[in-house]
Structure 1
Amino acid sequence: MSTPVNLTSLAADLVPDEKVTPGLLGFVVFAALGVATWFLVKSMNKQFKRVNFVEEPEASNGTPGEAQAGS
């Protein structure tokens, strides 16, 4: 039988804790997510401005408990 290998502890042994940083790639990914979110919010606001919604009162179905507008 072989001994199971714990990859997390193996990786932790290879790189010292003080040397692990997100670096340039982490910053670029984070900045790209921020820019994409900004464009999505801008597009959403433009779509909301196009909506022309007027709420109409619900039509009465003629049940006895409701007051009818024409009587």
Structure 2
Amino acid sequence: MFELIFILVFVATLLVTGITMLSVFLATGFAFAIMLLLGMVGAVIKLIPWLIVIAIGIWFFKNYVHGHR
């Protein structure tokens, strides 16, 4: 949600300052790409504890539950 608010405020600021529409579209696309990338990085950082728990669970299952055949 923060990313969307940032992009809307960014576009409004560009429009108020009197920059050409082409520049506004290019800057908006660039800002959207950066915010999308940073949002995905933030989601991965939030998921790291769960990924570690899943990896430990798989390791435990392979080594102790599912005996060697």
Higher helix share: 2
The answer to which structure, 1 or 2, has the higher relative contact order (CA under 8 A, 6+ apart) is 2
Pick the TM interval, shorter chain. Answer: 0.3 to 0.5
Please say which structure displays the higher CA radius of gyration. Answer: 1
